Structure 1
Amino acid sequence: MKQHKPPVGASMLAISLCHSTRIVTDLLLSRAGSLLQLLLMGLMLSSCMVGPDYQKPDIELPQTFKEGSQWQRAQANPQGALDSQWWLAYQDPILNELIQRSASANQSIIAAEAAYRLAQAQVASSRAGLWPTVGVGLSAARGEGGGASGSTTSGLTGNSSGTIEQTVSATLSASWEPDLWGQVRRGIESSQASLQSSDALLAGVRLSIGASVATNYLGLRQLDIDIDLLQQQQTINQQLLEMVQAQTVQGTATNDQLLVAQDQLSSVITNLQTAQRSREQFEHALAVLVGVAPAQFNLPATADYRFTLPMPPPTLPSSLLLRRPDVVSAERLAAAANARIGVAEAAFFPTLNLTAEGGYRGSAFGGLFALPNRIWTLGPALAETIFDGGAREAAKQQAQASYDQDVANYRGTVLGALQNVEDNLSAINHLHAQASAYEQMYQRNQQLFGSTQAQKHAGTVSQQSVLTQQLVLLQAEQNWRDTQGLLSQGSVALFQSLGGGWQEHSAAQAGR
């Protein structure tokens, strides 16, 4: 009866594997002469990289902005969007807090950060292709072999004389494909450029969310002012309606005058309801932007809110426009596409694979690492594709077309950025003129209201005339304050269109 050895435990396997690794390493080192020569040859060949080296696409930019002739032309900037706490220019602690909350809790920013981490992992994966692959193995097999000496009529084999055979081996293997033509390095270039594009997109999402928070917040504060002024107008219109109703009863006012007074009150009520609805929607939007449910978010009204209107200096740094995250991202995508052309071209050249394997093979663990059981293989393999039906040429054409597409997208993004800046400059210029005109109208109506009050005290005008003039004054104030709100929101859009902030050192100043 044959004796069967008990199964080997995990600890015994680990000890044997470590022992075999040490012995096999010594074996490979004893053969390092020829292997070193192959490695040196591979390293020398790896100095070559096929494919075009990247050159940033040229684009013609105007010397000045059409709507801001004093501003300098935007030149190319270092890659990567500049960070700037531009919202501090509005001098509002509540706005500062909301933007900071959105930066850590907004789901769009969280998703963009995850995309950035994915791009980082892809760079690490590409770099792994430069290094050899090393593996270790430990295996055991048991089986029966031999022939049959006869058979029965039923077809069953009888009198078998097979023997039980078992094989145990411990091996260490290594393989390396030198980057002869730069295929791996071009792939690293591409993934690094994609990572930089992802970084710019993340900065763009942060800028966009911050601008959305500021725009919605300033719009909400504008509606706080409107609601307060409309409520005052509603009160005055109600008083005027009651006066006209009394005059109608007395016969000193016509029914037409009564209808007009009723319409004026109804118009103010509808405007008030519209303003209140819009304020609630702004508040809901702010809740989502800071990452909470609308039911969990509330901003008390501030009827006496004063807008801060940050304006750019007459001359701006030339690096502002092309630091925009979307422009940086588009340029980096073009760089990534250019590197992929080199990857496609490298496929036309042969590949060299260097492999080495050493270890021990025997019939039992006991005595496995004896010299007679030693095995090893070492050698290079050179391969070249002769015919692929045009697949490599098609891949190269696809890479070239992708690059041309990304270059066109980059240039289009820059032109779109120029248009965006011009639109915002135009809006701010006209809103400034409107705000100045409305302010003058408000000041004149203040004088008229004061004059009407004086006449009322003198007994030359009625209370109805005073209320009517006060109503005109409130409407003039509403027009002026609304234009200030629009101008403040327009400055946010200009901040965003320039990539955030007026100056490159604004972030450093904000942190002082």
Structure 2
Amino acid sequence: MNVPCSLRDGAPRRRRRAFRRVVLCGCAVAAALMTAGCAVGPDYRKPTIDIPTSFKEGVEWQRAQVDPKATLPGKWWLDYHDDTLTHLVQEALKANQSVAQAEAAYRLAQATVAANTAGLFPTISAGISGSRAGAGAGAVAANGGALNSGVHNTVTADAAASWELDLWGQIRREIESSKASAQASDAQLAGQRLSVAASVAADYFGLRRADVDIDLLEQQKRIDAGILDMVRASYAQGESSSDSVLAAQDTLELVIADLQSTQTSREQYEHAIAVLIGVPPGNFSIAPDPHYAFVAPAVPLSLPSQLLERRYDVVSAERTAASANAKIGVAQAAFFPTLTLSAQGGFQHSSLANLFSVPNRFWTLGPELAGTIFDGGARTAAMHEARATYDEAVAAYRQAVLSAFESVEDSLSSWNHLAQQERAFADIYQRNKRLFESEQAQFQFGTASRQNLLSQQLTLLLAQQNLADTQASLALSSVTLIKNLGGGWRWDEANESPADVVASSRSSR
């Protein structure tokens, strides 16, 4: 009897449709469970902290001109109007190894987020294999039974899927934790870039200060040498004592000693800048500039509360606390059982040509519910560890905030007093300049000695050196204040992402 082809194929089609319905039903159930599943553990709330309404230190105009919208530019070093400094900072941001290390740490944190996110999805695998085996007529199987004699071929093609449902939010808490850690790493990267740029600026201004001091000390050395010659000549004529000669020699030697110390400092500043820009110190040099003019730009001051969004270390500490909070949920989810859905199907036959045929198919489908009954207290210990880690992170965050306010107050105090000191030394320099001009006029009219003129010139040089050193310190103080205020970087808490970073930071990633 001949059976129509449509009738012969009807049963397999019905079985295939039934299989698909089972798979679709399983997926629907899994999706429902995923939607209804809760994430155990505490939801994160930012730790509370006392924030002052205004900064204590700083000059009156700084406190009066506090602007809630004030922000530093991303490339704050441009405000110093020095092309050499700009070039050095840009080179350091590209070549510094500490920045490269921080960027690698940030990419690692992003990869961890991607790896944890993958846990929300099923794992699917597929493979094909073949084997050829033979047995003689008297061969015996491992269980003692007889084997079919002859040569046998086996070809298998199969696919398998496994999906562990996130019923209790363990994977979601892992993702939450890794995202917060990545955000903390992002803030640390911004902090490393700011630290490198500020270090370059500080070392550069230290080098320029040494340039000015070396020039002034060289002038003092020549004058002291001239005074020593005069005192020796006066001693030879019996007009001066040997004590006067010894005192003049000591004065000259002190200037020579100060000159050597200053030259050492300049060389070390130059070496430090070379390392910051990724160049061996032996292949790097900066031309001296004995007449360098220091610039200390006005630094815009914002509210103390905004410091929490503009300090990379505060943001990093807060994001670390958020990551630790999510880990509590991960530890708590370990107390609940896990549900895994798995499926496998494929074809098996003795010939590859006839492998993909309905009679050669096989499949399995089923869930697996598993849980830990006894672990000797390991999960409880993990829960205590997670809570202790969170408490430690919260304490570190609050300490970071206190340290941030301290550093800003210190910088404002330094700026305030250095600005007053600079005005005082500027007045002293102007008065000594007039005294030196008066001494020059008296020397020309023969009413003053050359030794008195040189002594007054020495006093003028010392006043000039004090003024230049204070101006250098004021420039350094402005760099420190910019760094302590966040250096143009700001965290957008609403979007949990940086709102304004150094220009090349994003592109370099």
Distance in 1 between residues matched to 2:446 and 2:216, nearest whole Å:
28
Q: How does 1:286-365 map to 2 (within 5 A)?
A: 286-313=273-300, 318-365=305-352
Whether the aligned pair in 1 keeps the contact of 2:294 and 2:475 (CA below 8 Å) is yes
Distance in 1 between residues matched to 2:67 and 2:177, nearest whole Å:
25
State TM-score, norm by structure 2: 0.87
Picking from 225, 239, 257, the partner of 1:238 is 225
The answer as to 2:205 corresponding to 1:218 is yes
Q: Deviations over 1:354-384 (max 9, x none)?
A: 1111111112213112221110111111112
Gap change, CA 1:331 and 1:241, over 3 Å in 2:
same
Picking from 434, 455, 472, the partner of 2:459 is 472
Give 1:314 deviation, angstroms: 6.4
* Alignment-derived partner of residue 393 in structure 1: 380
Distance in 2 between residues matched to 1:57 and 1:73, nearest whole Å:
30
The answer as to 2:102 corresponding to 1:112 is yes
Task: Give the number of equivalent residue pairs.
Answer: 472
Distance in 2 between residues matched to 1:460 and 1:74, nearest whole Å:
56
Match of 2:108, SS state, is helix
* Alignment-derived partner of residue 191 in structure 2: 204
Gap change, CA 1:341 and 1:46, over 3 Å in 2:
same
Distance in 1 between residues matched to 2:18 and 2:72, nearest whole Å:
55
Match of 1:174, SS state, is strand
Picking from 52, 55, 58, the partner of 1:62 is 52
Give 1:162 deviation, angstroms: 3.8
Distance in 2 between residues matched to 1:75 and 1:52, nearest whole Å:
37
* Alignment-derived partner of residue 39 in structure 1: 27
Percent identical among aligned pairs is 52
Match of 2:306, SS state, is coil
Q: Deviations over 1:129-169 (max 9, x none)?
A: 0111111011112334477389xxxxxxxx99843333211
Whether the aligned pair in 1 keeps the contact of 2:67 and 2:303 (CA below 8 Å) is no
Tell me whether 101-110 or 306-315 shows the greater mean CA deviation.
Answer: 306-315
Tell me whether 47-56 or 208-217 shows the greater mean CA deviation.
Answer: 47-56
Give 1:56 deviation, angstroms: 0.8
* Alignment-derived partner of residue 180 in structure 2: 193
Distance in 1 between residues matched to 2:416 and 2:160, nearest whole Å:
72
* Alignment-derived partner of residue 120 in structure 2: 130
Match of 1:148, SS state, is coil
List gaps (5 residues or longer) in structure 1.
1-25, 151-158
Gap change, CA 1:54 and 1:110, over 3 Å in 2:
same
Q: Deviations over 1:61-102 (max 9, x none)?
A: 12222213764999999xxx9971111111111111100000
Distance in 1 between residues matched to 2:337 and 2:66, nearest whole Å:
46
Q: Deviations over 1:436-489 (max 9, x none)?
A: 111111111011111111111121110111000000000010011101101110
Tell me whether 28-37 or 229-238 shows the greater mean CA deviation.
Answer: 28-37
* Alignment-derived partner of residue 500 in structure 1: 487
Q: Deviations over 1:382-412 (max 9, x none)?
A: 1122222221121111111111111111111
Whether the aligned pair in 1 keeps the contact of 2:139 and 2:149 (CA below 8 Å) is no
The answer as to 2:408 corresponding to 1:408 is no
Q: Deviations over 1:181-223 (max 9, x none)?
A: 1111111111111110111000000000000000000010111
Q: Which amino acid aligns with 1:120?
A: Q
Picking from 347, 356, 368, the partner of 2:355 is 368
* Alignment-derived partner of residue 13 in structure 1: none
* Alignment-derived partner of residue 455 in structure 1: 442
Match of 1:177, SS state, is strand
* Alignment-derived partner of residue 253 in structure 2: 266
Whether the aligned pair in 1 keeps the contact of 2:135 and 2:147 (CA below 8 Å) is no
Q: CA RMSD in A?
A: 2.7
Q: Deviations over 1:248-299 (max 9, x none)?
A: 1011111000001101110111111111111011001000101101111111
Q: Deviations over 1:309-361 (max 9, x none)?
A: 11234665852454211111111111111111111111111211111111111
Gap change, CA 1:481 and 1:75, over 3 Å in 2:
closer
Picking from 166, 169, 174, the partner of 1:182 is 169
* Alignment-derived partner of residue 496 in structure 2: none
Gap change, CA 1:29 and 1:256, over 3 Å in 2:
farther
Q: Which amino acid aligns with 2:30?
A: G
List gaps (5 residues or longer) in structure 2.
1-13, 141-145, 491-498, 504-509
Give 1:42 deviation, angstroms: 2.1
Match of 2:165, SS state, is coil
Q: Which amino acid aligns with 1:129?
A: G
Match of 1:31, SS state, is helix
Whether the aligned pair in 2 keeps the contact of 1:129 and 1:184 (CA below 8 Å) is yes
Distance in 1 between residues matched to 2:483 and 2:89, nearest whole Å:
14
Distance in 2 between residues matched to 1:45 and 1:387, nearest whole Å:
26
Whether the aligned pair in 2 keeps the contact of 1:64 and 1:73 (CA below 8 Å) is no
Gap change, CA 1:394 and 1:471, over 3 Å in 2:
same
Tell me whether 166-175 or 277-286 shows the greater mean CA deviation.
Answer: 166-175
